[in-house]
């Protein structure tokens, strides 16, 4: 029995440490790296990025807030506990009501957003998934489907300001 007890302690300790691992923190100011990004739809290059050319992120234990430069100060706020987050980004037809959920898949964050998108003058229900994960070199890869055939595009971002230096995205220019 004395031998089994240390083994049990090792297994329990290893299991607890796996559950205690913190998720990556995406806070910072990020700039796209075009040469490392993949932007093709239906075999043709397209001029689009997943989170724009520059974005700011603030992450706490409860929320991830993302502000994309070309969205005129709009802030996406996501709940990190998996519950539904509601956002209303501006669009030519007025604010678009969206619902997003977040799921952690190992060290990647998957954001699934549903809402209505305008297509041929009519509002159509739509869903998009964005996957955020760090590359080995510390750059951030953000993937999303694009186009009618759902081809994946991927934008790679380099952090301009680290987590502890990022200024509040509510006060950015």
Report the domain count for the chain: 1
Question: Is 74 a member of any domain?
Answer: yes
Closest-CA residue to 89 (of 131, 61, 111, 117): 117
The structure tokens listed for 91 are 């669009």
Could you tell me which residue, 41 or 56, shows the higher pLDDT?
Answer: 56
Contact 159, 26 (CB under 8 A): no
**Bridge partners, 103 (sequence order):** 110
Which is nearest to 156 in space by CA: 53, 15, 62? 53
Asked if residue 19 is part of any domain, the answer here is no
Asked whether residue 45 is assigned to any structural domain, the reply reads: yes
Task: Summarize the confidence of residues 61-68 as an average pLDDT.
Answer: 94
* Residue 4 covered by a domain: no
Give pairs for 8-15: CB < 8 Å, separation 24+. none
**Domain span including residue 131:** 24-171
CATH number at residue 142: 2.40.128.20
Q: Is residue 5 assigned to a domain?
A: no
User: Could you tell me if residue 157 is inside a domain?
Assistant: yes
Q: CA geometry: angle at 53 spanning 138 and 89, to 5°? A: 110
pLDDT exceeds 90 at position 158: yes
- Does some domain include residue 101? yes
Of 31-40, 53-62, 146-155, 162-171, highest mean pLDDT: 53-62
Question: In this predicted model, what pLDDT tens digit does every residue of 130-140 receive, in sequence order?
Answer: 999 999 999 99
């Amino acid at each position: 029995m004395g031998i089994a007890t240390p083994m049990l302690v090792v297994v329990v300790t290893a299991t607890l440490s796996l559950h205690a691992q913190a998720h990556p923190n995406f806070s910072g100011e990020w700039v796209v790296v075009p040469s490392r990004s993949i932007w093709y739809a239906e075999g043709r290059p397209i001029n689009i990025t997943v989170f724009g050319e520059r974005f700011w992120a603030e992450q706490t234990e409860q929320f991830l807030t993302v502000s994309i430069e070309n969205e005129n100060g709009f802030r996406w706020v996501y709940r990190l506990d998996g519950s539904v987050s509601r956002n209303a980004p501006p669009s030519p037809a007025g604010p678009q009501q969206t619902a997003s959920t977040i799921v952690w898949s190992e060290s990647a964050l998957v954001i699934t957003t549903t809402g209505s998108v305008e297509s041929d003058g009519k509002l159509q229900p739509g869903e998009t998934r964005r996957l955020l994960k760090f590359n080995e070199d510390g750059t951030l890869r953000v993937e999303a489907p694009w186009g009618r055939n759902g081809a994946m595009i991927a934008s790679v971002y380099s952090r301009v300001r680290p987590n502890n230096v990022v200024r509040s995205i509510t006060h950015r220019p």
